[in-house]
Each structure stands twice: as C-alpha cells, then as structure tokens.
Amino acid sequence: MTNRPLSKKETAPFIIIQPGDLFNSYGKCNFSLTRPATNLNNIKIESSFKKQKDKYPKNYTLKLFYNDKVMKKVKTLGEGGYGKVVLYQLVDGNNIRNVVVKMPFDDPCEEPKILKEYMKKASVCNHYVIPIRSVEDQHGNPFIIMQEANGSLEELDMDNRLKIKIIIQLTKIIKCFYNNGFVYTDLKKANILYRCKDEKIEFYLGDIGSFSELGKNDKDEDISPASFPPPEYAGEKTMKVDKNLSIYTLGATIADLYNLSDDLYASDKDGHMYTSNEMKKENVPDFHKKVKNSNIPNEVKEIILAFTTISPKKRLSYDFQLVFDKLC
C-alpha cells in the first residue's frame, strides 16, 4: 500500500460557512461560542486502581487534568461491552476545554495495540479523523483520549444547500481512505463529527474502530460491522472489504442524510451485520421507488440509485467521481 499525495481538492478537508448556510434550531453553529482546541498533550490521568494484568475493573473512576487543573466529568456519551466513552470539561475563564476518554473493560494490554493499529490506518488521511492519542495513568495503565466535537451529523437540522456540501465532503473522505487501501465500514451520520472553528465546520470520522483493509473479510480479521451492508450480503456470514462496499455505504449514507435509510440499516439483536434486518435484494426496488418519489434534488437521486443498485457489477461501474460530476 502506498501513501500517495492527495489531490488539490482532497487537501481541503473543511467546509467554509457562507451567510445562508448557518444551521438552524438544534444544530446551529454559534461561532461566538467556538471552543479552542484542547491540546491532548496537556492531559494527565489518575485512576482509582493499580496496574492491571488482566481486565480493567468493572467500576472505577478517573480524574483528568488539563495543565494540572482538574477537569469535571460531564456525561457518559456511550457505553457497551468494550467499556464506556465519557466527556470531561474544564471551564477556565472564557475558555472551555473538552476531552473524551475511553474507559475500557478489556485487557489493558490491548489498548496500545488498538491505538497503534488505528493510528496506522488513520494516518493516511489524518486530517479527516478526530485527533486522538494514548495517555497512561499514574500506574502505567493506558487510556485513549480524543478531542471533543460540537456534535454529529445525526444532530443537525440541515438545509439542502448544506447537505450538498456535506455529500461532496463525505465523498472526499471515503475516496481518500479507499485510495490508500481502507474502507470506513461503519459510515453513518452518528459517526461523522463536526466542530465549529474560525467560521468553518471541520468534519471528522469519529469511530476509531471502523477502518478495514481492502481485500479482507471477517475470516481474515475482525472487521467492523457495516451500518449499511449491501443486499448481496443479507444472511451471509462474511463480507469482503472492497470498492463495492465503499460505494454502497456512501450511497446509503447519502440516503440517510435525507432520512430515506430506514430500509437500509442492519439492526439484528446481536449487533451483527449479516443476519436479520439488513436490506435484502427483494427490498431494493421498493427502496428505489421511495427515492424516486422523494422530494430531493434529482442529482442526489441519481447518485443514491447508482450507488445502491442491486447489481454489484453495475455498482462497481460507477465511481466516486459521479458525485463530483453531478454536484460540483
């Protein structure tokens, strides 16, 4: 795999906000309240337990410090079998510093390995990934920390003009990783984070475990489940990581921006992508009919229909360039 130079278009990762593009209501970007970036190198951690040889304890507490000032635990952002993700904050005069820490329940020896593998994958397009690093507590137990964003696309109430810009942006992100040998398998609104800064919106991929190497399948490695598995994988036990998957998940995520994705999500009880409610081939015509009858721009309809077509061979005949041709 080679790390080729990015094109001129791909090196501009942020969307510049024009006067008519400001978010409304719930998702408004208030630039007067823009927070300074938290320097992750200034974070220190103290834990309530000693060095662990096996698993982290189930119930433990952390203290986080920014330049030796105590940060306040604000809320838990998510929790699962891996542990939980917690937001910490320091209000220092007019500055608000936020950081997110992963509090794992797994073997602590795995954390440096996970971070190293993630950084290897993310570094090929690192301007599109939420800043992250590893910090050890006073006993040498490692924790993953990352910068906090203003929110995710799932929380934004976007007008059509901004959606078009975001589609172009998402395509640049997915194309960048594909050209460098990776597919971001869990692409969805909740995993695309934004941050208001200097009258721009910075977009990042936020789920650090969702990069999978091209050519792999889950017999080769534990690939991340896909939010939008292609219909040919319905009921299957393996899923190949290839351009077909990259294009399909992009098309499905574009449909998700327009709230057309209810039929596309995989939502089996065990959280796996292959076994229950994902899109099946017989459902594709009804989904495409819903897209055609929707009140969205025709150019966007064409992209969704092309990228989610039932035939993998026909799907592969399209390219990311279709988005730029239709929308730029």
76 falls within a domain: yes
Contact 149, 129 (CB under 8 A): no
Would you say residue 23 lies in a domain? yes
Task: Give yes or no for residue 187 having a pLDDT over 60.
Answer: yes
H helix runs in 152-309, sequence order: 160-179, 243-257, 284-292, 298-307
- In 10 A of CB 99, how many CB atoms? 23
- Looking at residue 273, what is its pLDDT? 37
The answer to the question of residue 260 being in a domain is: yes
In sequence order, what E strands does the chain have? 14-16, 43-47, 62-66, 69-70, 72-80, 83-92, 95-104, 132-136, 142-147, 151-152, 182-184, 192-197, 200-205, 211-213
pLDDT at 129: 79
Least confident of 31-35, 46-50, 158-162: 31-35
CATH at 112: 3.30.200
Could you tell me if residue 2 is inside a domain?
A: no
pLDDT tens digit sequence for 216-264: 655 444 455 567 778 887 766 667 888 888 999 899 999 989 988 766 6
Which pLDDT score is estimated for 13? Answer: 39
**Total count of domains within the chain:** 2
Q: Is the residue at 8 inside a domain?
A: no
User: Does residue 109 belong to any structural domain of this protein?
Assistant: yes
pLDDT at 209: 65
